[in-house]
Amino acid sequence: MTQGKLSHPTKTTNSSSGGQSSLSPPPPSYEEATAGTSTPCYSDADMLTEFTWDDTNIRRIFIRKVYAILMIQLAVTLVIVALFTFCEPVKDYIQSNPGWYWASYAVFFVTYLTLSCCSAPRRQFPWNLILLAIFTVCLAVMMGFVSSFYNTKSVVLCVGITAMVCLTVTIFSFQTKIDVTSYQGVLFVFCMVMFISGLVLAIVLPFQYVPWLDGIYAVLGAILFTMFLAFDTQLLMGNKRYTMSPEEYIFATLSIYLDIIYIFSFFIQIFGTKRE
């Protein structure tokens, strides 16, 4: 009796221990599983810090991309202006058919509004480059048409002056500690003055009341767009009060290219000599 009673707890203990040994151990927690492993290379915060748009390497690549596209635009413009200036058959044809100028102006205006106001086509490859190429060719044809009415030497002189001014302003914008981007209010007021003056000139100049007024307007326009070139260059740099996103390389190229073209157009009004 005593042995029988004593054997029952023993069987119970063995059965319970056998049941516990047959069960699989519980899985470790996430902290226990990752305690002995190395941490990942980048956490979410590190990724944001490493690949932020203000990163120096990304900004440098952005600047190189903008200036590479800009050099292609300026080369195409220079070739077309030289063709319309030095080639007599092309010059005679374009001067006798001014409809090409107005057609180029219409396409230029549409593509400019599309690239400036619509972010989707401006950022979507390859449509952004196609629109920019159409924009560049149209504006180059317009400048070639205008240059064909001026003396060849004066056109070459204005090209050289424009190149020297733009190079000087670009170096100044990269080296100076003056934040030109903080003077956008001054540029806006200057633009309004130029806009109103342009409307007045459109009425006054056909009657030739003040013959030297267009020269003063050209000087002010050259100064204004030289300031805009410094402004857009510092927006491109990204180390001033206002900056431009590296996603907007098409808009940055468009802005700087327009500044250079406007500077050239005003210089040719100042220093250019009309053909007799």
- For 148-201, what is each residue's pLDDT tens digit? 888 888 888 989 999 999 999 988 888 878 888 888 888 888 888 888 888 877
Domain span including residue 100: 56-271
From the list 138, 114, 143, the residue with the least C-alpha distance to 250 is: 114
Which two structure tokens, joined as six digits, stand for 208?
């030739």
- Looking at residue 200, what is its pLDDT? 79
3-class secondary-structure state, position 35: coil
**Beta pairing partners, 274:** 150
Rounded mean pLDDT for each run of 10 residues along the chain, 276 residues in total: 45 45 54 46 36 65 89 93 86 84 90 85 84 92 88 88 91 83 83 84 68 79 90 80 78 91 90 71
Q: Is residue 38 part of a domain?
A: no
Cβ atoms of 230 and 172 within 8 Å: the answer is yes
Cβ atoms of 144 and 97 within 8 Å: the answer is no
* DSSP assignment letter at 149: T
Q: Is residue 182 part of a domain?
A: yes
Q: How much is the pTM?
A: 0.74
Percent residues over pLDDT 70 in the chain: 76
Q: Is residue 22 part of a domain?
A: no
Q: Is residue 19 part of a domain?
A: no
Q: Is residue 217 part of a domain?
A: yes
Q: Is residue 11 part of a domain?
A: no
Q: Taking the CA of residue 8 as centre, how many other CA atoms within 13 Å lie in the half-sphere pointing to its CB?
A: 4
The total domain count for the chain is 1
Task: Write the DSSP string, 3-25.
Answer: HHHHHHHHHHHHHHHHHHHHSPP
Residues 6 or more apart in contact with residue 222 via CB below 8 angstroms: 263, 266, 267, 270
Cβ atoms of 246 and 253 within 8 Å: the answer is no
